[in-house]
Structure 1
């Protein structure tokens, strides 16, 4: 039995301002409109025979977004199994937790295929060939990693040096893993023909992985076993939800699977992956997915280029015009604009780091914020007022809640709202009707219909922060 395990984490700071802490890289849409996570789910489903579990290891805060992307991928009979981390502890604890969970549900002989959620692979047939090769080796007790055949001396990737050949298909024992090199070293690696890019993909049986962890990382394994024993899975609407104990998971050492195991075990082998692969690690990688015009300009959204060459523009809602500029990356979102020289694409992370240090909201959230029940968009705000557009999915409802400092006026512009207000029962508010929620009143908004409910919310008061909320009941498990 093959069980895909998708690791979905990381802020993707080099892709700011689209990738942010609250909406990280796996959820961002590529130029074709599909998210990286959605594409990964589809690849995983293509590797299975019509049905099976697909495990996602992600942060608790990303559960509902991940579940939405799983549903939107239209995977048929495949079941989503979501392992929810309270905090990030790197890849070794994530993979160990996934292995113990798969062992409990599917046994020691299950084969795990570990894939990052934020990589792009187009040639699925070549991927299938590599996976079949890896599964054969995994059944023999090997820990398999996938090495991508390099096409250029990239300094943004780690490398794998191949050692003794294992078969006539190119598999070999791993001599060593190498950190991201400088350009001269990377050029030497590519010219030698003996180095592969480290894809971060792995394949092994549950039994083999756990046995090697017991040998090389026994403390980590014991800590993870203790955590998993206190973190029972729960069936939830055709999926499995497994929240990891915050206290116990926080005690597990923070370490990558490469450092914890792959660099220590003598059972590690590499399979050469000949599929086209990209980790979409910068805006340059995104630009490469877009057709170029005669001046090598590329655009997502509406743009005009005058005497401009080799530029990439992505704009969500506005026309962008360039005049007499070359080699620029311009990314326009509702609340932030990035302008960078193409040669400095890797340095975009410095912008995100500085915003985080300043605790600027643009590091964390977009104007449109996803919630379990739908989304809200901040349209305008000023002293003592804020205007939002709120979209509630069919059948969804917000928590029963109260605000200390703000009043809210709701105007329904699409659909039908079911409103609870201050213990007076519920009432329906139709399109073009409104209702008022006073500060201190317990209230709830629901969508009883089959189409999206859209309301305009006008807040007024002395304090309008998102943390002015007390939850009394919530079907999504959010605490008071």
Structure 2
């Protein structure tokens, strides 16, 4: 599938991945980990986009601490396309940094690296439809959304309204990470979709939206030139806020592009469990996924992930996550997986 030359894939490789501790740490980002021996997420996303954007038309935004991890994936990506943030400032700053480095008419396909997509051909079709819409409506912003596979309090939702063109819909409202009780109601309604965190727009259009809805961010981005010190200076004045909060939820020219692909955000252990299950790592007869050296007795519906040389033995557990790596050991209930980030704050360096 060939795309017109104006499309750039912008890969957001930041994020600490603290909810996947102890596998993901400050020194070992989840984007570069080979989960259960599979491809690293960075490798997977580069393969996923090769039909829509060449390596020469791929931009990677990554914070300085993670750049050593990039080396094995850089082949074919121009050095000028590696945009190094002095420190993470969330997705609004990362997208803005990429936008000011590209030409005004370039179309940006923004993709967080820490996601997993099935049905790559459907993804390519979705991107193609997004391209056609942006070329026809260059002043519009697109959120890529997908049908919820299950109720989740970890993802944002979008309520769509009327069809505009093909799979493009107008948006009624954004709902940011609802309670599980609310999410259970939303997934029963066909007009509520997951907000995937993927976007499409022209560089000039997102910058104009930032100028209107996030003027301080825009002002600081305009001070950036070719020197690393200018980026550091700007970033020191930029608040860490997501693109959704800063721009997309405020702008009136935002539309939903409904994708048919199955989407997973690998943000926490229960999400990773779903990905492992979907990629052929079958659960045992008790509903467990066990990675590495493990032994279980009367254990049900649990995830045991062991990268160490010693065997993990578990008895009489249900709905539990057990993880062992060289960085530490995690034991928690599945319904507490969201709180791993909170736990990491308590762990002393």
TM-score by length of 2: 0.89
| Mapped contact 1:14–1:349 kept (Cα < 8 A) | yes
Do the aligned partners of residues 184 and 309 (structure 1) sit closer, same or farther apart at CA in structure 2, a change above 3 Å counting?
closer
More strand by share: 1
Judge conservation of contact 1:121–1:278 (CA < 8 Å) in 2: yes
The DSSP-based 3-state class of the residue aligned with 1:191 is coil
Q: Which runs of 4+ in 1 moved over 6 A?
A: none
- Give the SS at the match of 1:192: coil
Contact 1:63–1:82 (8 Å) recurs in 2:
no
Alignment of 1:76-475 (within 5 A): 77-79=76-78, 81-103=81-103, 108-139=104-135, 140-141=137-138, 142-167=140-165, 169-227=166-224, 229=225, 231-232=226-227, 245-288=231-274, 289=276, 290-316=281-307, 317-355=309-347, 360-361=348-349
The answer for the alignment partner of 2:67 in structure 1 is 63
SS in 1 for 2:188: helix
Question: Structure 2: 5+ residue runs without aligned partners?
Answer: 1-5
Give the structure 2 partner of residue 423 of structure 1.
none
Task: Report the CA distance shift for 1:330/1:244 in structure 2 as closer, same or farther (over 3 A).
Answer: farther
Give the structure-1-normalised TM-score: 0.66
**Per-residue deviation at 1:334?**
2.1
1:30 aligns with 2:61: no
Q: Distance in 1 between matches of 2:184 and 2:303?
A: 27
How far the C-alpha of 1:158 sits from its partner, in A, is: 0.7
State the SS of the aligned residue for 1:295: coil
Aligned partners of 2:107, 2:337: CA distance in 1, in Å? 38
Residues 310 and 254 of structure 1, relative CA distance in 2, 3 Å threshold:
closer
Q: CA separation of 1:309/1:191 partners in 2, compared to 1, >3 Å: closer, same or farther?
A: closer
Larger relative contact order (Cα-Cα within 8 Å, sequence gap ≥ 6): 2
Q: Residues 244 and 23 (structure 1 numbering): CA distance in 2 closer, same or farther, change over 3 Å?
A: farther
Offset of residue 303 of structure 1: 1.5
Instruction: Decide whether the 8 Å contact of 2:65 with 2:87 is kept in 1.
Output: no
**Of 4, 7, 13, which residue of structure 1 is paired with 2:12?**
7
SS in 2 for 1:20: coil
8 Å contact from structure 2 (residues 29, 66) kept in 1 = no
Cα pair distance change 1:183/1:121, threshold 3 Å: same
Structure 1 alignment gaps of length 5 or more: 72-76, 233-241, 362-480
Distance in 2 of aligned mates of 1:177 and 1:327: 31
- Secondary structure of the 1:37 match is helix
Task: From the superposition, tell whether residues 173 and 313 of structure 1 become closer, same or farther in structure 2 (CA, over 3 Å).
Answer: same
SS in structure 2 at match of 1:10: coil
Once residues 24 and 82 of structure 2 are traced to their aligned partners in structure 1, the CA distance between those partners, rounded to angstroms, is: 22
Give the whole-Å Cα distance in 1 for the aligned partners of 2:213 and 2:60: 25
Asked if the contact 1:172/1:269 (under 8 Å) is kept, the reply is yes
Corresponding residue SS for 2:223: helix
Deviation at 1:188, TM superposition (A): 2.5
Q: Does structure 1 conserve the Cα–Cα contact (< 8 Å) formed by 2:141 and 2:206?
A: yes
Distance 1:277 1:253, change over 3 A: same
Q: In structure 1, what is the equivalent of residue 3 of structure 2? A: none
Q: Distance in 1 between matches of 2:240 and 2:334?
A: 34
Please say if residues 60 and 243 of structure 1, whose CA atoms lie closer than 8 Å, have aligned partners that are also in contact: no
More helix as a share of residues: 2
Larger Rg: 1
- Please state how far the C-alpha of 1:147 moved relative to its aligned partner: 0.9
The alpha carbon displacement at 1:93 in A equals 1.7
